[in-house]
Chain A
Amino acid sequence: MHGFSALLARDLRLAIRQGMDSGMVVMFFVIAVTLFPLGIGPEPNILARISPGVIWVAALLSSMLSLERLFLNDFEDGSLELIVISPVVLEISVLAKVTAHWLTTGLPLIVVSPVLAIFLNLESSGFAILVASLALGTPTLSLIGGVGAALVLGARRGGVLLSLLILPLFIPVLIFGVSAVDAAVGGYPLQSQFMVLAGLFVLALALCPWATAAAIRQAMA
């Protein structure tokens, strides 16, 4: 556990020291969502209808933004190879870095999402469910994203490649996240959507650290 907490603390400290990354992700999220009313027009009913989808898609794209750098900085300055050959099991180190990524990008997105929901005229009955679905969905995004970030290490134009690899894998999370909010607004039961989201999270938690660690070892060779 000492390795997990040491790496998590370091990544959080770096994020605070550098400051920009989290702020930019949140700004991108806000601006991307703001574009929709400007493009579609200020018709409240239309905005209310599309708001869960818009917020979820914008959250997906925003969390993609900082993914590329998840392992890249450590890869370039030699820290990653020392992490690989440290006595800490690499899967644990991966989990620590992914947790730090979620805390610095996923969590701020969740915090601002209700404000954007008001802005897009989402029914108030959907607010809590929007936050809950993002809270359950974004960790899955960070976990899956970690696999992609490790796979594109050493590739040129890794950022574009990363989006192509990872965005299709985000689709199930998007579908069930949005449909949970839609169900809440429509007054339907939403237990099944949350069970699927929870299932996806558990699956990602069980598989992604191993896949990510394998991809990192591959990048070292």
Chain B
Amino acid sequence: MKNFSGKNLACIRGERGVFDNLSFALEPGEMLILSGPNGSGKSSLLRLMAGLLMPAKGALEWNSINIYEDPENHYSRFHYIGHPAALKPTLSVVENLKFWANIRGVPKRDGEQIANGLAAWGISGLANIPVQHLSAGQTKRVALARLLITFAPLWLLDEPATSLDTQAVAVLENLIAHHRQAGGMVVLSTHSDIKAENPAELDLSRFSSAANLAEAL
């Protein structure tokens, strides 16, 4: 049984404590929505899960094994889509996606996955256009198409609905539902409404360092 959990996590950015005593657990097929006001640490928590940040306290575990014991192994378990698109403006959509596919170990000649990914987002027609000529929403779709290049059990999505139109949000909801049916896990932060079947919600404002202090008093 795969599972991904965090226990008593604390995060400090700069001199400021962002959250403290935060725990979560995810089983296959489950989805966690991170909510809370700006600055409550949604992005920081996602970066902790991705191993980009170290927790000041606590541990993140995959099947009860700390993710920092074998970081490269952990990296192959998830897709992380953050705010920057991480696409090169002078390369075409396909060239960009091919690069990320190769980095993740997809064989060079396997273009099928990329074509499928583009088709799912309705941007097959943009395949050979340099990314610099795309609109913000199209760029975001290309970035999200990375989710479909290879299967990774865990999706970490930082505000995936930003600059997406309603149709694209529907695609996203659909992909998330499929991913969960296939036993995948999803963690996402959002300010807008993303519909999903019984997602767990984690309100980060409850774990702010100030709230913890108030509780302690």
Chain A residues packing against B (C-beta within 8 Å): 2-3, 5-7, 9-10, 13-14, 17-18, 76-79, 81-89, 220-221
Contact = CB atoms under 8 A, between A and B. Distances in A.
B95 A78 contact: no
B15 interface: no
B91 A17 contact: yes
A2 B50 contact: no
A6 B102 contact: yes
Given A13-B95, A82-B80, A77 B87 contact: yes
Contacts of A88: 72, 103
B125 interface: no
B82 interface: yes
Given A77-B85, A78-B82, A85-B51, 4 more contacts: A3-B103, A6-B99, A81-B82, A87-B72
Interface of B: 50-54, 72-73, 75-76, 80, 82-88, 90-91, 95, 99-100, 102-105, 108
B104 A87 contact: yes
15 contacts: A2-B102, A6-B103, A9-B99, A13-B95, A77-B86, A78-B83, A79-B87, A83-B103, A85-B52, A87-B73, A88-B103, A89-B72, A220-B52, A221-B52, A221-B53
Contacts of B50: 85
B86 A82 contact: yes
Contacts of B104: 86-87
Contacts of B103: 2-3, 6-7, 83, 86-88
Nearest to B53: A221
A220 B47 CA distance: 10
A78 B131 CA distance: 15
B84 A77 contact: yes
Contacts of B102: 2-3, 5-6
Chain A interface mostly: helix
A87 B54 CA distance: 18
Given A84-B52, A85-B50, A86-B104, A78 B84 contact: yes
Contact of A79 (B51, B73, B86, B108): B86
Contacts of B72: 87-89
Contact of A17 (B52, B83, B90, B100): B90
Contacts of A3: 102-103, 105
Contacts of A77: 84-88
Contact of A86 (B73, B75, B84, B88): B75
Closest 9 A-B residue pairs measured CB to CB? Answer: A78-B84, A6-B102, A78-B86, A87-B76, A17-B90, A79-B86, A10-B99, A86-B103, A85-B75
B73 to A, nearest CB: 8
Contacts of A76: 84
A2 B105 CA distance: 7
Contacts of A220: 52-53
A54 B26 CA distance: 63
